[in-house]
Structure 1
């Protein structure tokens, strides 16, 4: 596509001449007033704005001065018939113009200036992107050092397994205590796996995690039951609608890590709403299996919808680190799946996870025989088929 530029002049004849001169080189948007330019710039950003100096109500210099504040990356070019050096200096200082062009302009000279303006804009964007990447890399390095220390200390504290084994032996005849000890054992195993994952990340080791056919309905029921012990989540607001679906080839811990993160985000979104709810639905979608985690919470503004996947971006202030959704996306993609977000500000959000179903050989090898855990899980609603 041709580069886009915006040209403003209150005289129609000048607009026609400019467009005819450069329409083969650029995609040109025309405006007849400074006010119109400001409205257009709110709708979409232009890399280059060319303004006539002398216009009613607001001069070109005044317009470029405003653009300098609101859109600093836009390259600003001023066309003028004035030859007063003082006026030239004033326009350069106030509007920080990229180039000051005297009328009447020559096509080849102005074309060269316009091309340089686009090159300067692209270079500045590239430099800004590189700077942001360097800042992110520095933050990741600092985070990695801190995380390594935390993981080491967490590992030192994970000495609860012998205690759990004592509980299971002492209360062998008490089903309730056995169930509690079972949940505690699962928590211990999750923490051990998480500490090892953090250590591998810090050492920059490529992790090939174990995968096996999983029944997602059992995985979700197990997770919801486990979340009853999380004080930050009101599990009575969590509703699961699970349809029969083929198993997927995946890692139980990793997929539960993704769903836990999404449910906690949904819980934050409905905080303070008396009628707030979180819904987890499971269904087959062709040769894939889809999990939706929905809520009727505050939603995500459209202006930041794409940024939620960026590392370190968070809307939770000091309560968030901005890494949750980035980790979720990476884990889902490592399973050959995809994750998407559909949100309406003030109405709610749905995160959809699509995973490939396990092939027939893997599915045939998988047995849905209960391991004893399923009997201990809460009854979760299933829609009529």
Structure 2
């Protein structure tokens, strides 16, 4: 199939220039001409033009001013400016504002103008192709996220049933009646539930809009501890919440951040530690909330400290998915928060977080 010729709009108040342009390029391009900016605008309203050529010196409006006036309404056509005199200030202004692709002096050289039009059309096609590819990627990404979210929910329903059955078996004293089978079922179910929850957190963190509400850190921390420490009765908690000021923030993402860090502090304790300890300190001011979460657990090797926020990074001691700290960092980025970490394999790990107060 023969490709359609490039559609060009040429605006010039000099009739001779319009005729000369048509005579030179009518066999190469689909040409539309206008004697004024008003005529040119009417053509743009009715035709999908790909390249616009305008003379700089026209009565009432210059070529640069015309290009600026249509930049918002018609951003796609590539602009070429013809100028019969050197107005460096006007050209610099036009180029700096992205209004022209290039300028050509009059009288033009046919070969130079022809090459400029070809290059301009290539730039136009690249712009359109890039936009289409971005739309396709956004559509694909959105569909993938929705698929992941849907599948995660569908998986969670039967999984909760399995975990419920295991709990019933425990209540009836039959947990150890079949060797290690019930323990294996529980372990696999909990691990799968953990992966599903992290997947949902990742999805929601990317998709949910930031909504500012009042945050009660004492209640939030108590709820998180009750949730994650249920099966870790031997872990002690030292909680110090100093919130004399109202804190307004993204409660969903703050809960995700604290939930991941506190659950990690519980999970990565040393098996032989007789005094497992997690210390949580939060101080709220008019401007920020400063949070510290420390444990006396396994600790992190120095060479791993720069990698722990990387997606799917897992050290030898990592029992999770490699997503938790990545989600923490992504959530903090969404709310302009900051995080730092210090760790020693003998004494444990401390995370320090700063979250702006939107109050």
Q: Give the structure-1-normalised TM-score.
A: 0.41
> Larger Rg: 1 or 2?
2
Structure with the higher helix share, 1 or 2: 1
Q: Give the structure-2-normalised TM-score.
A: 0.43
